[in-house]
Chains A and B, each alone.
Chain A
Amino acid sequence: MATLSDVKPATGQPEAVLSNDEILRYSRHLIMPEVGMDGQQKLKAAKVLCIGAGGLGSPLALYLTAAGVGTLGIVDFDVVDYTNLQRQIIHTTADVGRKKLDSAADKLKAINPFLNLRTFDTKLTSANALELFREFDIVADGTDNFPTRYLVNDACVLTGKPNVYGSIFRFEGQASVFATEDGPCYRCLYPEPPPPGLVPSCAEGGVLGILPGLVGVIQATETIKLILGQGDSLVGRLLLVDALGMKFRELKLRKNPECPVCGTHRTITKLIDYEEFCGVRGVEAPVTASSDVPAISVEELKKKLDAKADIFILDVREPHEYQICNLNGYLIPLGDLPKRVSELDSSREIVAHCKMGGRSAKAVAFLKQAGFTKVHNLTGGITAWAERIDPKMPKY
């Protein structure tokens, strides 16, 4: 198992002397031999860079700050919104609309005034990652998308910084420590990202609010162990967390000798275009009119409904989404459409909708292929309806 001796660079600098106030604050650390004065000084000398101040970044930053990590960097360019508050516990209701960095800085400074906080109000990119990583000892990956995951990994390998990894989806999480000198990297585990559209993001698939807490605290634990040089790190192991079954399992990870970034014959020696590598894809984006998917705006639909036009509204979302809000449409989830298409009357005018317009565009394309001619996609979905037609309708 890897300990600090395996991890470059060593982070402890003996000149990080603790004041009496700090000694009192870290008392419960100092009385444990595994930390002690030496360990606490290593924590104070350590420089950890946290990518993202979201679900994973919240517990990571809070605990690393409380534990006495001397220098914490946070990279984030996002603004707090209401949908973040269910899991991003560093932000409060009053912070909605503020920069996540400003919101996080207030909490962290309040927890530990001895913290040297460095905030980077930017998107992590191939242009800035290497320079940024070189200023820190350890990088903790709390990002929420594949391009940035591969960017963080490659930049860690190229700069020789351990990558304390965690990721989450619905009720499941993964954690490991990548890119140590002899250990595997993220690309050894997953050489390629999933093709766009095959793996849903948390914004599409949801995530249990406590899950980033569980996984983020595991990342914080691994970060602190790396700094202290204590215990068995997750280097060479992938920890799987299943919150629903409350099971923790671990799988063996091996360094892939053919890994393009950390293997013996390296083909990736500088950062690449990660958006291109991952075939870019964000959350379900509003779909605009296109030649193959006939579209209708929410205003046009409202006008037609008010005029009592004969329109069949087809809702292709999931039943639990229908419960949140609906347009009294006929519910057939997109995945069930092929086997339930006989329930639809092709002589009627059909308007298909989903949350934002992405899934219903696929439904319209499918129905057109199946011979339906009077079928339209509701541009912007029920979200556009809630924004522009019925402000009392909840948005989710």
Chain B
Amino acid sequence: MPQIQIPSPLRQYSGKQASVDVPGKTVGEALTGLVSLHPDLKRHLYTDDGKLRAFVNVYVNDEDMRYLEKEATALKDGDTISIVPSIAGG
């Protein structure tokens, strides 16, 4: 089952979990599974019209999904999805 890594700014919406195992054949399916498991995450990941937010990047292993097949990117067992939101602290 693919594992989704949750960054610390978003863990307050994932029941404090740093990673969540979610079934899914594609990145889109896994992310949909994630937000149905943790509905509070939804407005942080998606805009009101259901598009993934531009400041939230999603990586499959170490590759940006924008340069793969985006949400349609196929997943295989052991793949890690990372959600990497922008942070600005200094």
Contacts and interface: CB of A to CB of B under 8 A. Distances in A.
Interface string A139-160: 0011111100100000000000
A199 B86 contact: yes
Interface stretch (B29-37, B57-65, B71-79): B57-65
A199 B90 contact: no
B43 to A, nearest CB: 8
B44 to A, nearest CB: 6
Q: In this complex, which of A174, A192, A201, A250 has the most chain B Cβ atoms within 10 angstroms of its Cβ?
A: A174
A303 B34 CA distance: 49
Contact of B88 (A57, A144, A250, A251): A144
B90 A192 contact: no
In order of increasing CB-CB distance, the 6 nearest A-B pairs are A202-B89, A192-B54, A169-B87, A144-B90, A194-B55, A56-B90
Contacts of A143: 88, 90
Interface stretch (A114-122, A238-246, A380-388): A238-246
Interface of A: 52, 54-57, 141-146, 149, 166-174, 189-194, 198-202, 205, 207, 212, 238, 240, 242, 244-245, 249-254, 256, 335
Which of the four size classes fits the interface of chain B? 20 to 34
5 contacts: A168-B87, A174-B84, A194-B55, A251-B59, A252-B63
Contacts of B44: 198
A252 B64 contact: yes
A365 B57 CA distance: 32
A44 B35 CA distance: 53
A191 to B, nearest CB: 5
Contact of B86 (A171, A190, A200): A190
Contacts of B12: 335
Interface of B: 7-9, 12, 18, 40, 44, 53-55, 57, 59, 62-64, 66-67, 82, 84-90
A192 B55 contact: yes
Q: Is the interface of B mostly helix, strand, loop or mixed?
A: mixed
Contacts of B63: 251-252
Contact of B62 (A54, A190, A202, A251): A251
A253 B62 CA distance: 9
Contact of B64 (A171, A253, A335): A253
A17 B9 CA distance: 48
B57 A189 contact: yes
A90 B55 CA distance: 32
A335 B16 CA distance: 14
A57 B90 CA distance: 8
Contacts of A198: 44
Contact of A167 (B62, B66, B89): B89
A199 B82 contact: no
Contacts of B90: 52, 54-57, 141-144, 166-168, 202, 212
Contacts of B9: 169-170, 172, 199-200, 205
Contacts of A145: 88
Contacts of B66: 256
Contact of B57 (A57, A172, A190, A193): A190
B18 A245 contact: yes
